[in-house]
Amino acid sequence: MVGKHTEGDQDPVRAVAERLQRRYHERIAGELVLPARPARTASLPEDLAPPVAEALRQRGIEQLYSHQRQAWDRIRAGQHTVVVTPTASGKTLCYNLPVLHEALTGSGKALYLFPTKALAQDQVAELHELNQAGGLGVRAYTFDGDTPGDARKAVRTRGDVVVSNPDMLHQGVLPHHTKWAQLFEQLRYVVVDEMHTYRGVFGSHVANLFRRLRRVCRFYGADPVFIFTSATIANPGELAGRLIGEAGIEAITESGAPAGEKRLLLWNPPVIDPDLGIRASARSQTTRIARLAVRSGLKAILFARSRLMVEVLTKYLKDVFDRDPRRPPRVAAYRGGYLPAERRETERALRGGGVDCVVATSALELGVDIGSLDVAVLNGYPGTIAGTWQRLGRAGRRNRTALGVVVATSEPLDQYMVRNPDFFLGASPEHARIDPDQLLILLDHVRCAAFELPFRQGEQFGGEDLEELLDYLVEQGLLYREGERWHWVADSYPANDVSLRSVSDGNFVVIDTTDGAQRVIAEVDYTAAPMTLYEGAIYMIQARPYQVERLDWEGRKAFVRETRADYYTDAIDYTRLKILERFEGQRGGEAEAAHGEVHLVRRIAGYKKIRYYTHENIGFGDIELPDQEMHTTAAWWTIEPGALEAAFTARHQALDGFLGAAYALHHVAALRLMSEPGDLGRAVGDGDAEWFAVTGPRGRGQIRDASGVERGVEHAERFQPAVFLYDNYPGGVGLSAPLFDQRAAVVADAHELVQGCECGFGCPACVGPVLASEETRGQSPKAAALTVLELLMTGHRAVHLGAGEALQ
């Protein structure tokens, strides 16, 4: 349970940390050292089933950590429980002990839910090891999309522990609950691992899923105890309560597990063009740190924020460490889209010490067992403090000393974090927000619940008027009301039409046709396909490039062939919005802010070819794919045309100002809302979907019409740009309303961000990538953005002065 180590084992990690600090001290913006911590233990429970106690002793466990014993006491008392302790602190035993005890002494069953199949397989392996150690005979089975049809009946009828995921519970279990009667009648525990992943739209869906689960359990006379585990978030007890509709759930947050020393460095790449504020790329700094770590004999994990960046970093490191194809690879990539067998092979290689460096997306942020790692390097700030600590926690497992390095990109959030290291090092993690009563999400699950069991008058399901929703479904022909009951009467199967992640169904498969064969080599989810599988795209697997020759959109297939391309491709997309309804608005001076519903159309217009290492654009290509459409909610700001004409000598300067302001507002809003930047989208346009603005290839703002054709900005009939920040999920997930409420603070923060930036004309740390200088444009994009933000601030000040008062 506790890995052995010696002082000598720690020396190489310390040596690398000190070498980085000596050689690159001017790049290190902040440092934190967390000292080693000894274990705090407690005795095994006296009432623990003897076979389980023996299984623990067979595995060398004579005592529990204090948090494990605390969890046992709460769970056995019938309390819903949340355990929030670091990676590799023994959270698994917190729920395995009461579950195994109940299976042996009370014939109670358990349902384990994990967000990924890899985690589920890890847990089944852990249960099997305990089973074998004590000869327990507890039957633990996985039930997911890969479970063979002939094995499913055995899982339903014989499983003491059923290990699954929310999607399978949603579509494969609850709609067929009569087949699962034996599980539900004896269900004592529901284990929800990695609870912090259930936030935003996904968490809102899962909260409704748990409403349905508890409803079915009550039908069978069961009321299971929920056991949650989580990485660090600010509100674990509150989130657990929101997920299951219970108040007063307290979290266990004090870990009794030992921990090795942890060193954290905040790294800011050096400035290479002071006027434009351009820094060396985070890529170059990340690979530099990784090379030093691997050459020093350390095991490293690199986290990148996109699948494309994972492949680029993997290529750069393979070019250094894997030049000889006859030797086993020392560098591996790990991300979504790889086939399950390939991911499992990488996990095994990591556990066995066969890989020195793995480059991953957040897919490895969760608790899959990948053995002992020494160094974690983050290529860019993940967007949240909680996500940063979760990724850094992947190094230093098993009581080893660890080094974490966060390498900042040029984006505003990254630069804010490294310029204000005390904010990051001392700030509380973010709150995980969900909105289970968001109307579209709630209605989806009311449909699913009505299919599973008839609703009765007076029954509760969420915070909205249930009878009103049920009567609406009667009008739609889906339900029939008979007295005090509503029955499902439609032929459709509602769970099939509801995705817990609010994305379209139907993953794409990538088929390799090299040498005339047809072999499936990867799978890509629907939302990522337009940006990665267009014809002409370079699609990479373990840094090996394939070119997409044909995309069958309807058939969800991409046909690729191996290539030797010396470049990678990056898609160019744009978004136009149409305002459908204003929920509320505020006008002050010459500016207006509003909140409402919008219709969004996203088009993937083309792609760039980018050469490795130099990262120069060496060509462009067109993409012809269907538009992606979405209804959502947004907050937006606009300025009267007369005020713009008075403030700017030319429209293109005003357009630059709106694009720069939108960039700053987007990043500041994400920080204020404690959300990830990807949860919000941004756009600049006229609000009627007649035209939208983009930054052109020379850094100048352009406007394009609804078909994407460039139009002259000086000749547009109506020029009143608006900045939109929208919920990046169908129907919205509740971000735009608090954003509108904080509109004045967001604009003021954006102004402070841009004004406080040390660049001369604008840069990626304030207004976005800038390719031209003041001399060639007549006015700098930075100055233009400040003018727009000042006009918006004047509008807010006018409101605060009160009706009829004039600005001095």
Q: What pLDDT is recorded for position 567? A: 93
- In whole angstroms, how far apart are CA 57 and each of 132, 156, 255? 12, 31, 21
Statement: residue 370 has pLDDT above 90? no
Over residues 383-399, the pLDDT tens digits come to 778 788 888 888 876 66
Asked whether the predicted pLDDT for residue 503 surpasses 60, the reply is: no
Do the beta carbons of residue 640 and residue 718 sit within 8 Å? no
pLDDT at residue 572, as a whole number: 84
Q: Taking a C-beta distance cutoff of 8 angstroms, is the pair 253, 86 a contact?
A: no
User: What's residue 341's pLDDT?
Assistant: 81
User: Please, which pLDDT band fits residue 615 given cuts at 50, 70 and 90?
Assistant: confident
Confidence band (pLDDT; 50, 70, 90) for 602?
A: confident
Average of per-residue pLDDT across 400-421? 86
The residue type found at 277 is G
219 vs 129 pLDDT, higher one: 219
Whether residue 2 has pLDDT greater than 60 = no
pLDDT (mean) for 196-214: 90
pLDDT of 427 over the 70 cut:
no
pLDDT at residue number 366: 67
Gap between the Cα atoms of 773 and 144, Å rounded: 56
Among the residue ranges 121-125, 326-330, 433-437, 476-480, the one predicted with the least confidence is 121-125
Secondary structure (3-state) at 681: strand
pTM here?
A: 0.79
Report the distance separating Cα 43 and Cα 598, nearest Å.
59
- Supply the Cα-derived Rg of the chain in whole angstroms: 28
Q: How many helices (H) and strands (E) does the chain have?
A: 25, 35
Rounded Cα distance, 473 and 467, in Å: 10
Give the model's confidence band at 351: pLDDT under 50 very low, under 70 low, under 90 confident, else very high: confident
Q: Dig out the tokens for 477 from the structure.
A: 């022909």
pLDDT, average across residues 590-613:
90
- Residue pair 236/230 in contact (Cβ under 8 Å)? The answer is yes
> Would you give the distance in Å from CA 399 to the centre of its chain?
28
Question: How do residues 62-111 score in pLDDT, each as one tens digit?
Answer: 999 999 999 999 999 999 999 998 877 889 999 999 999 999 998 899 99
- The Cα 331–Cα 680 span in angstroms is 34
Distance, in Å, from the CA atom of 310 to the CA atom of 541, rounded to the nearest integer, reads 10
Alpha carbons within 13 angstroms on the beta-carbon side of residue 454 total 12
Domains along the chain with CATH numbers: 7-36+260-426 (3.40.50.300), 41-252 (3.40.50.300), 439-497 (1.10.10), 508-565 (no CATH), 570-801 (no CATH)
User: Residue 772: what pLDDT?
Assistant: 43
DSSP-derived secondary structure for 487-513? EE--SS-GGGG--TTSS-S-PEEEEE-
Q: Would you give the DSSP letter of residue 590?
A: T
- Hey, which residues does 540 pair with through a beta bridge? 545
**69 neighbors 90 (Cβ within 8 angstroms):** no
How sure is the predictor about 776, in pLDDT bands with cuts at 50, 70 and 90?
Answer: very low
Kindly report, residue by residue over 457-501, the tens digit of the pLDDT. Answer: 999 998 888 999 999 999 999 999 999 999 999 988 899 888 786
Separation between Cα atoms, residue 787 and residue 624, nearest integer Å:
37
Per-residue model confidence (pLDDT) at position 240? 95
Percentage, residues of the chain above pLDDT 70? 90
At 647, phi and psi to the nearest 5? -90, -25
DSSP string for 63-84: EEEHHHHHHHHHHHTT--EEEE
Structure tokens at 688: 């009627």
Residue 631 pLDDT exceeds 70 = yes
Mean pLDDT of 772-788: 70
Average pLDDT along the chain: 86
Name the pairing type of β-strands 544-552 and 557-562: antiparallel
* Cα–Cα distance for residue pair 286/561, rounded to 1 Å: 30
CA distance linking residue 147 with residue 143, whole number of Å? 6
Distances (CA, A) of 278 to 286, 659, 760, 773: 17, 19, 11, 12
Q: Residue 237 pLDDT > 90, yes or no?
A: yes
Contact 612, 315 (CB under 8 A): yes
**Bigger pLDDT: 313 vs 524:** 313
The mean per-residue pLDDT over the stretch 131-145 comes to 88
Residue 806: its pLDDT value, please? 30
299 within 8 A of 16, measured Cβ to Cβ: no
Q: Place 369 in a pLDDT band, splitting at 50, 70 and 90.
A: low
Alpha helices in 464-584 (DSSP H): 466-475, 529-532
190 versus 32: the higher-pLDDT residue is 190
Q: What is the pLDDT of residue 801?
A: 41
What integer is the mean pLDDT of 555-567?
93
pLDDT at res. 394: 83
Tokens read off for 425: 């090092």
- CA distance linking residue 387 with residue 7, whole number of Å: 30
Q: To the nearest whole percent, how much of the chain has pLDDT over 90?
A: 49
Q: Kindly state the average pLDDT of the residues 725-741.
A: 83
Window from 12-21, 131-140, 540-549, 771-780 with minimum mean pLDDT: 771-780
Kindly report the backbone phi and psi dihedral angles of residue 170, in degrees, each rounded to the nearest multiple of 5, phi listed first. -65, -45
Provide the pLDDT for residue 674: 67
Kindly report the length of the chain.
808
Angle subtended by helix axes 236-244 and 200-219, to nearest 10? 50
Answer positive or negative: Cα dihedral of 149, 154, 156, 162: negative
